């Protein structure tokens, strides 16, 4: 990002954090704009450009009452329907990830030894990220402030792989998701390093429709182990592919959003962004 883009992103992130922590007060446009040192007019325009919706509507999507409403509807019919058949329009987003492949036991045990991994850095509505891929699919995606830290995390996940800084077609198809260009989604493949249990949880996450939420307990039920909520939470926390595998759509049974590997502000932004996109498409 250039200096101005970084400043804009920081301001919007601060605004989202303020809204997230003060949603019960229902802050108005003037109040939030003042917190990020912008005029209401400029803030409204900047926020709408970044999030694709107005601050007021965004606030509606990230409120706890909205989360509870989604959960109530989901548990009644929407999640089960989406899980089995998918929904129309953008809510079918992650149903289009038709290929998820686990690494072989040898690959998993040996830390991806003999695997060739391409990686590149990109920008997204939620900050800078690294994305990496093998010939079989995307194997890693994460949000980091700087490239050295991002690459160190990739190396730690695949300690014996061979790395090349290269943007390939697999990565490009995945990154189109942030541009609202979903024409290549059917070509996205995931190549994941995980246990059988982790892979099962991650596959289930892909079935949560865009704009909808699930609880840890719901995920546990879907994998046929209703008492495994804690283990499900651990598997979700180990998700190596941020956003594409939507662990940000899993919240606590109380309706609160809970923690997130990449920070609660980013999780809140993702939920609101997807909710707004679903409503406007």
SS3 124: coil
- Other CB atoms closer than 10 Å to residue 179's CB: what's the count? 9
Is 49:5 a contact under the CB 8 Å cutoff?
Answer: no
List 141, 220, 247, 276, catalytic entry: 247
What does the angle CA 254 – CA 10 – CA 212 come to, to the nearest 5 degrees?
Answer: 30
Exposure of 75 by Cβ count < 10 A (0-12 exposed, 13-18 middle, 19+ buried)? middle
Alpha helices in the chain (DSSP H): 3-21, 29-35, 40-51, 55-62, 64-73, 79-85, 105-109, 147-157, 169-175, 196-205, 216-222, 229-237, 264-280
Task: Please tell me the distance from the alpha carbon of residue 239 to that of residue 198, in angstroms, as a whole number.
Answer: 8
Q: How many residues does the chain have?
A: 281
Instruction: Assess whether 247 carries a catalytic annotation.
Output: yes
Give the closest residue to 211 by CA, choosing from 62, 27, 28.
Answer: 62
Q: Are the C-beta atoms of residues 246 and 206 closer than 8 Å to each other?
A: yes
Active site residues: 247
């Amino acid at each position: 990002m250039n200096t101005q883009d970084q400043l804009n992103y920081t301001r919007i992130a601060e605004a989202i954090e303020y809204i997230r922590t003060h949603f019960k007060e229902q802050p108005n446009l003037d109040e939030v704009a003042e917190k990020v040192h912008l005029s209401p007019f400029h803030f409204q325009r900047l926020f709408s450009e970044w999030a694709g919706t107005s601050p007021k509507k965004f606030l509606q999507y990230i409120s706890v009452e909205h989360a509870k409403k989604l959960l109530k509807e989901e548990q009644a019919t929407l999640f089960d329907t989406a899980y089995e058949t998918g929904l129309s329009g953008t809510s079918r987003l992650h149903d289009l990830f038709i290929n998820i492949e686990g690494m072989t036991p040898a690959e998993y045990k040996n830390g991806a030894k003999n695997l060739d991994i391409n990686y590149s850095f990109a920008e997204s509505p939620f900050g800078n990220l690294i994305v990496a891929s093998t010939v079989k699919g995307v194997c890693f995606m994460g949000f980091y402030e700087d490239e050295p830290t991002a690459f160190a995390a990739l190396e730690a996940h695949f300690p014996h792989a061979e790395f090349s800084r290269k943007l390939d077609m697999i990565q490009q198809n995945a990154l189109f998701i942030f541009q609202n260009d979903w024409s290549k989604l059917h070509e996205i493949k995931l190549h994941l390093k995980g246990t059988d249990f982790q892979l099962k949880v991650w596959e289930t996450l892909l079935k949560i429709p865009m704009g909808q939420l699930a609880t840890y307990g719901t995920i546990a039920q879907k994998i046929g182990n209703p008492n495994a909520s804690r283990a499900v939470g651990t598997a979700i926390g180990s998700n190596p592919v941020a956003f594409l595998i939507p662990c940000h759509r899993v919240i606590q049974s109380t309706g609160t959003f809970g923690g997130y590997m990449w920070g609660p502000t980013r999780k809140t932004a993702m939920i609101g962004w997807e909710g707004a996109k679903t409503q406007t498409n």
